[in-house]
Amino acid sequence: MSTEGKSFFRQLEERIAYSASLLCVGLDPRVAPGEDAARKIVEENRRLIDATAEYTACYKPNIAFYEAHGPAGMEALEVTLSLVPKDIPVILDAKRGDIGATADAYAKLVFDRLNAGAVTLSPYMGKSSAEPFLNYPGRGFFFLCRTSNPGADRLQELRVGSSGGDSLYIKVADEVSGWSTDAGLVVAGNDPASLAAVRRRFPEIWILAPGIGAQGGSVEEAVAAGIARSGSRLLPVVARGVSGAQDPAAAAREFRDNINRAREKVLKNGVGSKAPVRLRDYRKEEIFQGLVDTGCFRLGSFTLKSGLVSPFYLDLRRISSSPRLMRQVARAYASILPDRKDQEIQRLAGIPVAALPFATAISLETDIPMIYPRMNAKGHGTGNTIEGGWVPGERVVLVDDLITTGKSKIEAADILRNEGLLVEDLVVLLERGKRGRKDMEQKGIRLHAYAQAEELFQYLLDRGIIGEEKHAELVAFIAD
C-alpha cells in the first residue's frame, strides 16, 4: 500500500531497487463459497505473502475474487491488504470505469477505504470516467490497453484511420498516456508483438503485463518486447504460476530470476537492437495452425502449373471457408500495408480470382476502397478493364494470396498502370522462394510478405507436424 508522503511509482522504483525484482504477484484466491470462505482467503493470502514477499516488486489482488463472497470477502480483502509489508506497493485490479457519481464512489472505495497505491481502469468511457481517480495525486493508474484474454483482438486490434491506420489499442494508449503523469498501461504479457508495439510508441511508460505462466506468456519474450531502456518500467504479472505451485517461494524466486536473466540479456544486446531475443509471433503461429486445420497446407505429390512436382501444396482459397481465419488473415495483411506519409493508399486491387476474398476482407478491416483488374478484358456491357470506382493518379496496392513468380502480378499491375493508376506495392500472405521478389523489383514494385514459406515449415517442424527429413525436403524444394 502507498507509503506516506511517497507517490506510488516512487515507492515502486524503490521497491524494485531493494528487491532486485520486477515480479508482480497476483493475489487471486480461488476459494469455494461458504461460511468459512473469508477465513480461507486470509489464510491463503497470508501464506502466499509470507512466502513471496522477498522476491516481489508489488502485489495485485483482483477485486472480483473477494467481491464474489460478499461483505465477508471484502473484509478479507481489507485484511489481506494489511498483511502486505508497508514497503511493497499494491495495485488493485478493479478495471473500473464509469460516469459521474458512480466513478466517484468507485474511487473512494479504492483509495479512501482500501488505500490501494494504484488501480487498473477501463478507459472506454473517456477521461471523465477516470477523473475521480486522477484527483488522487500520487496514486498509479494502469489503463487497459491490450488485454491478455482470448478474443481481445476482435476489438482491440481493429484498425483506426486511413491506410490501415493504427490498431485501436495503440490509439487508446495515445489517448490515456496524456491523462496523467502517473498513467501506466495494461498490455498482455502473452502477446509480445503488442508489447513491443506499445514500447516502441512509449519508451518510458510503465507497463503492467498479465498473461505470464498459466495464460501462456513467456518471461523471456515479454521482457524482450516490453522492457524500457532503463531496464525497468515493466511488471510481468504471475498469479496461478505462483499461488498454484507446491512451493510458492521457490516459484516466485524462479520467476524473479528468470525475469532478471532476461533483463540482463536484453540490456547486454541493447533495447531496440535488431532481435536481441527471438520473439515468437503468436498471431502468425495461429494463422499457420489455421492453414493446417483448414487443409490449406497439404503434403503429398502435386504437379504445379510449371510442370514441377512439389512435395507440398498451398491452397489459400480455402481460407474463405473459415470466417475466423479470414478475420485473422485480414488483420495480418493490414499490418504489412506500406506506410508512406507523403501519399496514402487510396485503393486496394485484388488480383482475380484467389485474392478477391482477401482484398474484400482487408477493405472491410481498413476502410480502404477495393477495385480489381479484369485479367481478360470484358467483351460486353461497359467493357471495363478495372471493376470498381477509381480515378487516374490514385495510389493502388496490389493484393494476392502468395507469390512464387511475378507473372500474374505483373499482368495485373500493367492493366492498372495502363489506366493511369500508380502501382508501387504488392502485399501477399506468403512468399514462396525468392524468384517472385526479384520479378517484382524489376517492375519497380515493392513486395510486402506477411510470412515466408520457410517460417511455415519451421512451425510445422516445431509442432511435430513434420519431421526433420520432411522439413529439409520442403526447404530444399523452394530453394531450388
CB atoms inside a 10 Å sphere around CB 124: 11
**Cα 410 to the chain's mean position, in Å?**
34
Residue 300 · residue 306 · CB < 8 Å: no
In three-state secondary structure terms, 304 is coil
Q: Which residues pair with 297 in a beta bridge?
A: 314
Residues designated as active site: 95
Q: Which among 43, 47, 44, 77 has a CA at the least distance from the CA of 60?
A: 77
Sign of the four-CA dihedral 315, 321, 322, 328: positive
Do the strands 234-238 and 207-209 form a parallel or antiparallel pair, or are they unpaired?
A: parallel
Residue 447 · residue 428 · CB < 8 Å: yes
Q: What is the four-CA torsion angle of 286, 288, 294, 297, rounded to 10 degrees?
A: -170
Q: Which residues pair with 185 in a beta bridge?
A: 143, 207
Backbone angles phi, psi at 54, to 5 degrees: -65, -25
Task: In whole angstroms, give the CA distance from residue 356 to residue 399.
Answer: 8
Q: What is the DSSP string of 106-118?
A: HHIIIIIIS--SE
CA distances from 259 to 24, 55, 125, 255 (A): 11, 11, 35, 6
At 422, the amino acid letter reads: L
